[in-house]
Chains A and B, each alone.
Chain A
């Protein structure tokens, strides 16, 4: 099992560029989510999905789009990158009932994004 795989690990973007952060899991987890972590702060939920074809917004969704066409993949799209989106992005997955119960998450190793 590879767990949760995030690519790329590092990325530098120019303001206004768009890009997609990839997240894939091989554990057949229904639930997937994206968090961002800014320096010295905890993680904040961007978007989440409880199954293929179903997505919803978290705390800080503005500037990001997601889709969930398969169980395995949950890409995060930055539409027009801004310096305020400089952050570390973590993808997490879990079985739905465990996620709803607040435990059982597997996190990826993160994507470090800098927008200049």
Chain B
């Protein structure tokens, strides 16, 4: 599975868009980009995933660059409840073991 690099921490003002970057320069053709978040003391929560096209769901948008070497998770209108550690994970689309490799993630603080 490709390695990812994320900034350790970011701040965002409440109501503004939060843009969380992830670098995955060694990603291979069959690997997807997944985003999870972990609110303090809780288990991780799935947010979104994608291969090469931009994806959007009710929680967030995922923008993947054309060369697929980096991506950005966008929370369009951040709230205080979005304060969490966000993990970018790259792995093959099918893994029988269901394995997710979590790095250290980005700690997002949404401030009033």
Contact = CB atoms under 8 A, between A and B. Distances in A.
Interface of A: 4, 31, 33, 40-45, 48, 50, 56, 58-59, 90, 92, 94, 96, 99-105, 107-110
Q: Per DSSP, are chain B's interface residues mostly helix, strand or loop, or mixed?
A: loop
Interface of B: 32, 34, 41-46, 49, 87, 89, 91, 93-105
B47 to A, nearest CB: 9
Contacts, number: 69
A92 to B, nearest CB: 7
B41 A33 contact: no
A107 B42 contact: yes
Nearest to A40: B104
Nearest to A102: B34
B41 A110 contact: yes
A44 B93 CA distance: 19
B43 A33 contact: no
Given A102-B89, A103-B49, A94 B98 contact: yes
A37 to B, nearest CB: 8
A109 B40 CA distance: 10
Nearest to B102: A42
